[in-house]
Amino acid sequence: VGSRAERQPVSQIVGLALRRDARAATLALTERRGAIVAEDTGALAQETHRLFQLLDALDISGLTGLLVDDAQAVDELTGSWMRGREALQAHFARLPEMVADVRSQVSDLSATAWGDVGLVTLQLDQTYTANGEVQEISAPTSLIYRRQGETWKLALVHSVPITAAAH
């Protein structure tokens, strides 16, 4: 008496293996496109920490390199929307004239990815010097990333501080 596999024709065994591989490939693709993938959330968190390191260093080229071409952003310095890589690059270029001694602290970071779109929410506590005065802000912040190839690029930065009165 042989095992079940020994009694099945080779074509059936190959067919079963192919169906099993197809199911595994479909599951992997579904996880990649439609579900949260731990690898992606870790990469998004890493890119977010890199963003604030570049901001603290006022690394204009590095900041611009993080953006998709149609990126959008709003912050407390502009108080209005900036749309497109060129507008954000111009804003970044003015930062060294506007602020100094930037120190960003990120907490309560949550990252989620759905296929090629990633969302990061966080609490940003930041200090910087503007017009000779130290500023301290606390801003719930949302970042949307878009995957380009194997790299996550920033598509949206929404970071507007909440005043002490609103707490």
Find out whether 130 and 158 touch, Cβ atoms under 8 Å: no
Find out whether 119 and 142 touch, Cβ atoms under 8 Å: yes
pLDDT at position 10: 54
| Residue reference for tokens 């090629």 | 116
Rounded distance, CA 138 to CA 152, Å? 25
Rounded distance, CA 78 to CA 121, Å? 21
Stretch 75-91: mean pLDDT: 94
The 8 Å CB, 24+ separation contacts for 105-112 are: 106/48, 106/49, 106/52, 109/45, 109/48, 111/40, 111/41, 111/42, 111/44, 111/45, 111/48, 112/36, 112/41, 112/44
Stretch 100-118: mean pLDDT: 97
Find out whether 47 and 66 touch, Cβ atoms under 8 Å: yes
Task: Give the model confidence (pLDDT) of 146-166 as tens digits.
Answer: 999 999 999 999 998 987 655
Task: Give the model confidence (pLDDT) of 20-71 as tens digits.
Answer: 555 554 445 445 455 557 789 999 999 999 999 999 999 999 999 999 999 9
pTM, entire model: 0.76
